[in-house]
Amino acid sequence: MIYITRRERFNAAHRLYRPEYSDEKNLEVFGKCSNPNWHGHNYELFVTVKGEVDEKTGFLVNLKNLSKIIREEVIDKIDHKNINLEVDFMADNMASTENLAIGIWNQLEHKIKQLGAELHCVKIYESENNFVEYFGENR
């Protein structure tokens, strides 16, 4: 079993809040990410897939194909968008990095199988010091 990781970057806006809370309560619970006028992050996404090396190519997957899938299923849908309002796979979901990792996993899992590999981890840096990792449900 071997693992390979592709990094992609995107910028997106969001707001963490509950509509039933006051602005003060949202600030208390969600901090700066509750700003009513939105704000953005420069996200860094690491997609790790696993599988066996193909004897003919020496590759686990062709990274060009992996990059294309990530671009089509995730980056094109989220880059320079508002996660709360414009990203279909995050609809009705709190726009947290945790939920983003799960949403991106669900976007990619099936497509990566079609490449002959298995999705292992979706890791997202929301900021330099905070990141989330998701390894799927059945661990």
Query: Shortest gap between Cβ of 14 and Ni ion (angstroms)?
Result: 6
- Please list, in sequence order, all residues whose beta carbon lies within 8 angstroms of the beta carbon of residue 18, skipping any fewer than 6 positions away: 25, 26, 29
Which one, 19 or 58, has the nearer CB to Ni ion?
19
Angle between helices 63-70 and 97-114 (to 10 degrees): 130
- How far apart are the C-alpha atoms of 134 and 121, rounded to whole Å? 6
- Identity of the residue, 73 or 126, whose beta carbon is nearer to Ni ion in the bound complex: 126
Least gap, CB of 63 to Ni ion (angstroms): 30
With CB atoms as reference, the residue minimizing the distance to Ni ion is: 33
Beta-carbon contacts of residue 129 (< 8 Å; ≥ 6 apart):
none
Please identify, using beta-carbon distances, which residue of 31 and 68 lies nearer to Ni ion. Answer: 31
**Which residues have a catalytic role annotated?**
33, 80, 126
Binding positions for Ni ion, rule: CB under 5 A: 33
CB atoms within 10 A of CB 112: 24
| Residue 30: CB minimum distance to Ni ion, A | 8
Cα→Cα distances 39→99, 106, 133, Å: 18, 25, 23
